[in-house]
Amino acid sequence: MFEINGHTKQLAILGYPVEHSFSPQMHNFISEKMGLNYVYTALEVSPDKLKDAIEGIRAMKFAGVNITAPHKYEVMKYIDEISEQARKFGSVNTVVNKCGKLVGYNTDADGFYRSLLHEGIEIKDRDVLIIGAGGASKPVCVLFSQIGAKSITLVNRTKEKAEELAEYIHTVCGYKISTTHCRNHYDVVINTTSAGMYPQLEECPLDDMSFIDKKTAVADMIYNPSETVFLKRAKKAGAKTINGLGMLIYQGIIAYELFTNIKLPENIFETVTKEVFSK
Ligand code: ATR
């Protein structure tokens, strides 16, 4: 264990609830590995105390904080600056204290994209199906339209929400997303919904998965369970599958780099995967 002393810089995750977060283990592991004097804790902050908590972060000169549910939208009201990309994503998961100025970023979509690339799954020039139109979907839709997916089809249990998000992407990114699922092949299929996440283990965001075959890459943002019903069915159909653990790790790595302004070594992903997440 590294030594905590008078010079130790503070980092934390703010959420409600927050006790199940893996971020403290991950960030403290990286600090120890890199020999950097930071400590990262989990702080439970109820929605009515978020403003006070952010003022506390400022007052106590935390180096930065990660923000998780349900605060990713509300926090935008209480910080000083928001990166252009986080503004487009509509949410903030990382706040960096830059000499007293609190600057918001969102590393979720980049983390997800890097986890796909790590598995050899490209988005540029590919036909992509995205399931879900909630807070997890929006940053991915923005980023994938910027990257230049060949086509993006967005489906959601409540179709109006998919249409609303498609409209938003058209306005903000000038990219036309289809909300009608009618292709018989997609290169990449992504679940951004909470269907299948613990404890709703039996749920699956799609009924008909007959269009998935061995040429499809299927990703789920869920990492608990490590294989959702959705991924099980995709794997059975021959697809390459990937869960949300890589996204969790990469969004943390990118956040760590923002907090410390240090570029982590390429192999940090493998090291964290193996040493923090291998059961
Ligand atoms: P947030 O914005 O906080 O991420 P949300 O707005 O509840 O959360 O979005 C969750 C997404 O998961 C939505 O797209 C939701 O579909 P609806 O818009 O129809 O609510 C989707 N979702 C949640 N549970 C689902 C289920 N059992 N089957 C299919 N989609 C589901």
Per the prediction, the chain carries an average pLDDT of 97
Taking 70 as the threshold, does the pLDDT of residue 279 lie above it? no
CATH 3.40.50.10860 describes domain 9-106+246-275: yes
The superfamily CATH assigns to domain 110-243 is NAD(P)-binding Rossmann-like Domain (3.40.50.720)
Q: What is the mean pLDDT of residues 205-213?
A: 96
Query: Matching CATH topology for 9-106+246-275 and 110-243?
Result: yes
Three-state DSSP class for 26?
helix
Taking 60 as the threshold, does the pLDDT of residue 1 lie above it? no
Residue identifier of the C-alpha nearest atom 7 of ligand 1: 134
Specify the ligand 1 atom closest to the Cα of 132: 14
Say what the pLDDT of residue 49 is: 98
Task: Round to whole Å and give the CA distance between 72 and 136.
Answer: 11
Omega within 30 of 0 (cis) for the link into 47: no
Q: Percentage of the chain with pLDDT > 70?
A: 99
Q: What is the mean pLDDT of residues 110-121?
A: 98
274 pLDDT tier (thresholds 50, 70, 90):
very high
Specify the ligand 1 atom closest to the Cα of 203: 27
**Does the annotation count 72 as an active-site position?**
yes
For the Cβ of 155 lying below 6 angstroms from any atom of ligand 1, the answer is: no
Q: What is the mean pLDDT of residues 61-74?
A: 98
For the Cβ of 181 lying below 6 angstroms from any atom of ligand 1, the answer is: no
Domain range summary for the chain, segments of one domain joined by +:
9-106+246-275, 110-243
Q: What is the mean pLDDT of residues 170-179?
A: 98
DSSP, residue by residue, 206-244? -S--TT--TT-EEEES--SSSS-HHHHHHHHTT-EEE-T
Specify the ligand 1 atom closest to the Cα of 196: 27
Q: What's the whole-model pTM score? A: 0.97
Q: What are phi and psi of 142, to 5 degrees?
A: -60, -55
Say what the pLDDT of residue 193 is: 98
Q: What is the mean pLDDT of residues 43-66?
A: 98
Taking 80 as the threshold, does the pLDDT of residue 2 lie above it? no
Task: Round to whole Å and give the CA distance between 139 and 108.
Answer: 8
182 pLDDT tier (thresholds 50, 70, 90):
confident
Name the maximum alpha-carbon separation found in the chain. Answer: 60
Give, in degrees to the nearest 5, the angle at Cα 28 between 25 and 32.
130
For the Cβ of 133 lying below 6 angstroms from any atom of ligand 1, the answer is: yes
